[in-house]
Structure 1
């Protein structure tokens, strides 16, 4: 007579196979894909390289995400979730801009995120890149969001009046400064990125409050 099979569930410290469940597996794959895409770009990163990072087969990646583009989409959604959860998003007017050093600090603490963002921005300038629309829309959203916060500051009287063109120019310049400084920091980590950006932001906000803005 065959021995009865045990129906006891694995304890809390026991894994079924290499992963507890599909959710954990997906999360680990997305994290590995973000690392590979940050280091090699979407074009240079392969499913085999991503699978090797996690310790699964390339077929497993296809099973979970349907292919490389599906995996890129999951990475982009993960990126959006990471950045949208930052506390500065709840601030309005000048308070929003005053907390931008916290955003930079978050980026410093999550270097791979910055590598991913800058790599995909460069790659996705081509309209044939699968992330082109996402990156383009994300940039447009950032400009619109920052412009709305600066317009709030103007409406409250925290800064002197600006035209829409002046607001747009100021916001684009500030975003370009942040992105450029982060790119320099990736190349030379000896740079005190938070202090450098903080000093630039201090001058920018003082200039806004004094009404010394770009002519548009």
Structure 2
């Protein structure tokens, strides 16, 4: 059987250069924001001309799209296999683990989230849609958990409130982590999670989710 090789030559070099540009843009946007960063600054950081970036990205907005897509792909992969019910909500912990190890990615995303509050920002639609999808998914899985008797059933209004509260908590501890890298987002989430389970009258113990996450991580590594 012949060995399957990845792309080589100019095509491979082009892919590597594109990724290098995205990686550096993540650092620049995380440091000074999308509005404060420039293609010239990114080009200078990696030792190429702005024209070299233009061969890979049609515009600064095009590069921003690639940066956000990279973040979305990374955090989705960190969550692992798709689950539902309360286990879906617990997977937010994996996002925090990822951002603990990739602080620059978190700084970039939160910086762009803040900027996108302004009308006309190119990431405004992405951020609004991303938060909307995440909120709706949490609401849906709270309903699923109630139907399975994993927790008490909540009406739509209560589920929306819980979803917004959970997202606000996650965003809050991420901001605290950026100002104090010694702060453990994962430990804070674990304590908050236990409080949530108690408020929801969940029938599954906190240990269930830890064991499930450990099993999923072990399976994924095999």
TM-score by length of 2: 0.83
Contact 1:89/1:96 (8 A) holds in 2: no
Structure 2 equivalent of residue 42 of structure 1: 34
Structure 2 equivalent of residue 5 of structure 1: none
Alignment size in residue pairs: 197
Structure 2 equivalent of residue 56 of structure 1: 48
1:90 to 62, 78, 82: 82
List structure 1 segments (4+ residues) > 3 angstroms apart after TM superposition: none
SS of alignment partner, residue 80 of structure 1: helix
1:38-84 Cα shifts (integer Å, max 9, x gaps) = 11111100111111222211111112101211111111111121122
| Alignment partners' CA distance in 2, 1:163 and 1:179 | 24
Show structure 2 runs of 5+ residues with no match.
Answer: 204-222
Q: Which has the larger radius of gyration?
A: 1
Contact 2:75/2:98 (8 A) holds in 1: no
| 1:1-216 superposed matches below 5 A | 21-88=13-80, 90-209=82-201
Q: Calculate the aligned-residue CA RMSD, in Å.
A: 2.1
Show structure 1 runs of 5+ residues with no match.
Answer: 1-11, 212-216
TM-score by length of 1: 0.85
